[in-house]
Structures are given as C-alpha cells and as structure tokens.
Amino acid sequence: MNTRKLGNSGLEVSALGFGAMGLSFPNAPTKEESIKLIRSAVEHGITFFDTAQAYGENELLIGEALQPLRKEVVIATKFGFKDGSIQLGLDSRPENIKAVAEASLKRLRTDVIDLFYQHRPDPNIPIEDVAGTVKDLIQQGKVKHFGLSEANAETIRKAHAVFPVTALQSEYSMFWREPENEIIPTLEELGIGLVSFSPLGKGFLTGTLKEAELNMGFPRFSEENRATNQPLVDFVASIAAEKNVTPAQIALSWLLAQKPFIVPIPGTSKLHRLHENIGATNVSLTNDELNKINSALTTIKIVGERYPAQIQNTAEKNNDR
C-alpha cells in the first residue's frame, strides 16, 4: 500500500488507516478474532491504527495485537475525558493528560505513543496549556506527535502556535463535507494532516446497512432523514457500478483524491470488509469523474444532525461541530 505524510510533520503512515473503536462495541468479534483482524490489516499494508482511552478496553486489544509488530506500525490514541468516560465529561487538565499518557503506554504495551490527540476541545482548559503539556511529554520521549480531534480553526491555530500540530482528526466524507469550508484550508496552510473518521458515513454510504444497524440514535439516520439522504447512497452506488467496484471503495477513493495529506481510518469487524476497504487504494478516479461526483454532491441535500441533541448542543457550545 502507498504511504502518506501527515502534513509537514514527517509522520508517514499507510494511505488508509484502521479505526479500532468498533472492536470494543457490543456484538464485536471475540478478542482472538479481533487480534487476527488487526494483524491481517498489517499483513496487507495498513500501518496506522487509531484507538482512545475512552474506547473501553480497546487500547488493551491494540496493545496485545500489535506488540509483536510494534516497529512496523504507528499507533494513535486520545486523551480528554474524565476517567476515560464520555459520560463523565471533558477533562484536559495537564495532570490528567499526563496520567492518561502513562496509563495508555502500559495498556498499549509500548514505550512511546506515536500520535497523541486531544479527543475533544475542553472549554475549561486553554488549548495553549494542552499543547504545552503534550510538548512536555514529547520532550520526555513518551509521545512523538501532537494531534487534535474535532477542533475548530481558531483552536487549531492557537495550539499550533505553541507546538506544531501533526494531525487533526475529524469526520469527513461525502456525507459530511463541513471541513471543506474552513478546516481543510487551515490545515493546508499550516501543514497539518487530516485523519478522517467515519469516512463511510458510519456505513451509510455503503448502502449495505440494515434498518436495525442504522437505528443508532443519530438524527441523520431517522426514518424521515434517511429517506431524504438516500439519493446520495444511490448516486455513490451508480458510480461504483460504472467502475465495477463497491460503493465503499468509491467513497474512500474520493476522499483520498481530495488532498494528499488526508488519511481515512475506516473501521470494520469483518475480514472481507477490511479487504474491500484496502482495495479502495487501487481505485483511481479521473478528473472528469471527480468533477462529476463533486458537481452532483452540491445538488444533493443532506439533512439531520450528526449526533443526538445533548451531544450536538455541547459541540455547538464548544464551537467544534
């Protein structure tokens, strides 16, 4: 698989990463199956793995799976919630960041975290303090690179002024193009990479999810909104049929074609989906095809907020939608 550099940092990763959060969800594969899946990803060229303190026992799983392959991979994890619980709220106090780093190192069975993200902006802690704390961890050799997740342009600039931000993790896909307005131009200006989570619109763009799988409490997937958003799925499927590939491969190849510093991190618990995702790196879209897709995307209206009301209100309050 081809590799990409996340901005100007020099951090080189596979063009497609692996988002491991779903391996800790209910109905996830067994630990043994998950380890086999992760190691298969490495065998097929994926070198970039994403986890977080807040994903339950996910770091333990990643640590065990990748320990024998540690020199071949880049591991990213995140801090920023009280006791690692999203329900308990944000906590990016310097002492908590340091404590999370120590605990994550142990869970990941490693002596250094390759990329350490602030999971969400904390309105109670100046971002300069957060950047300064991660800078200290980098100088101590416990962390290699500093990242942010779902931060707005102003926050990115403030953090970057204290210590260079290597990557911003944000939702970005055909289904959610908001980052194109301000975030991506800011990242390009500052030399920061974009790690795209939910690159398949939480599976919606694949056109393969059953109704029960879509009923996850996200407003965009309500029955009414789903019907309104269906034309996008149908359009992606039509492009896929023309090229004899899958809708997921079109969605991922489109992302890869947007900027050379974008690295999608689709997650899956199924081996055949992993292979399908990896196949997207071999799908090339011509300029005419990209223009056709982008032109169509401007005419397709997407409705429904990304998150349930309580989470959405918090995001708007923090100005990091």
In degrees and rounded to multiples of 5, residue 113 shows phi and psi of: -95, 125
**For residues 19 and 46, is the Cβ–Cβ distance under 8 A?**
no
Dihedral sign computed on CA atoms, order 80, 308, 59, 1:
negative
In sequence order, the 6+-apart residues with CB closer than 8 A to the CB of 281 are: 1, 2, 15, 16, 252, 253, 256
End-to-end CA distance of the chain: 32
Q: Which two tokens stand for residue 233?
A: 């799925």
What's the CA angle centered on 292, arms 268 and 302, to 5 degrees? 55
Catalytic residues: 55
